[in-house]
A = this chain, B = another copy of it.
Amino acid sequence: MERKFSSGLWVFANSIDKYGGYTESLSVKDQIKAASSVKGLKGVELIAPLHVNLDTVAEVRAMLEDADLEVVAVNPYLWTEPIWQRGALTSPDPKVRQAAVSTGKRAVDIARLFGAKKMCLWPGEDGWDYHFQADYSFLWEATADGVRQIAEYGDDIQIGIEFKMKEPRTHMLVGTAAKAALLGVELGLPNVGAYLDFGHALMANENPAETVSLLARHNRLVGVHVNDNYGAGDDDVIVGSVHFWAILEFLYALECVGYDDWISLDIVPTRENIVEACQQSITNLNNYYRLLEKLDRQALQKAQSEMDAIQAQAIVQAMLIQA
């Protein structure tokens, strides 16, 4: 299994030599510079128009080439901005919904210019905060309609809905992998699937390895974000620092379904040096790949074919002990 590590460029939005949450954002150029200083990082996901728009593609491309970073995905900026206050794809205002679709199409245009094949579409403002606040059938209808328009326009781009249960809303509509997959199946569009954020799967009480399997079954696994959290919120801490067995099983599941593509960091250190936190995340991932080299796959498959928990435990715990 090849190991292609990338990162959301947004990860580097804050200074690398001051405390995470407390300093001004860096310029795109400095974000790219920070990213390029992480050993083993070979690609970035860009947000359009936050990081790049049609006018700045050439400029950003030059920066990325200098930094030896590939563009993995171009993701439409459908959150935080005041226009999305009541939702983006699902705003009550049809003009806002149209703006969201246009933002998605522009991201497609930019992806094509970079030769990127994927979009991570995070409908982060599409949901609700209170009981009785939303007409859920409208939310679903508007989401399906918006995604369809973007996906038909960008039919050469894999659109991965980045499902998430909550934050910034108390409830987001597309909260689970199965909802994202169901959306793709409903639309009948082969290029609509899920962007699997490890931490978002945990927030949904999914076992990320099973999520991989579910999405692969429906040919809807578009991309992967890695990070970690304590289960109840999107802590976005260093990869592998909390869910040890879950990340090992996740990496193994990716291998099982033949996912041989980018693995993107999406961590948000709030007190740590960002470059160091990314570097440690990659160190941890490489350690875990090294442990997996010791996994007796044949024995494990036999144990699984019997649902034998004791054997499965014996086999995976053996990775920890030196021969």
Spell out A's residues near B (CB within 8 Å): 18-19, 21-22, 80-82, 85-87, 91-92, 128-138, 140, 165-168, 170-171, 173, 175-176, 178-179, 181-182, 185-186, 204-207, 209-210, 212-214, 216-218, 229-233, 235, 237-238, 240-242, 244-246, 248-249, 252-253, 256-257, 270-273, 276-277, 280, 283-284, 287, 290-291, 300-301, 303-310, 312-317, 320-322
Contact A316 B132 (CB under 8 A): yes
B132 and A249 form a contact (CB under 8 A) = yes
Cβ-neighbour of A313 out of B138, B166, B244, B284 (below 8 A) = B284
* Contact (Cβ within 8 A) B313 A280: yes
In the bound complex, what is the Cα–Cα distance between A160 and B197 (angstroms)?
30
Interface pair B284/A317, CB less than 8 Å apart:
yes
Given contacts A136-B253, A233-B166, A237-B130, contact A320 B320 (CB under 8 A): yes
Within the assembled complex, what's the spacing in Å between the Cα atoms of A81 and B21?
Answer: 10
**Given A167-B233, A233-B167, A313-B280, A306 and B92 contact (CB-CB distance below 8 Å):** yes
Does A321 lie within 8 Å of B290, measured CB to CB?
Answer: yes
Q: Which residues of B contact A181 (CB under 8 A)?
A: 178, 182
Q: Is the CB of A309 within 8 A of B271?
A: yes
Contact B178 A182 (CB under 8 A): yes
Residues A241 and B137 in contact in the complex (CB < 8 Å), given A185-B182, A186-B185, A284-B317 = no
Q: How many copies does the complex hold?
A: 4
Q: Which residue of chain B lies nearest to A281 when distances are taken between CB atoms in the complex?
A: B313
| Distance of A253 Cα from B128 Cα, bound (Å) | 15
When the two chains form their complex, are residues A82 and B130 in contact, meaning their CB atoms are under 8 A apart? Answer: no
Across-interface contacts of A131 in B (CB, < 8 A):
207, 209, 241-242, 245-246, 248-249, 312, 316
29 of the cross-chain contacts (CB-CB < 8 Å) are A19-B82, A21-B168, A86-B271, A86-B306, A130-B312, A130-B313, A131-B209, A131-B245, A131-B248, A132-B245, A134-B304, A136-B209, A136-B210, A136-B253, A137-B213, A137-B216, A138-B304, A167-B233, A170-B229, A175-B206, A204-B204, A232-B233, A233-B233, A241-B245, A244-B245, A276-B310, A284-B317, A290-B321, A322-B322
Residue of B nearest to A234 (CB): B233
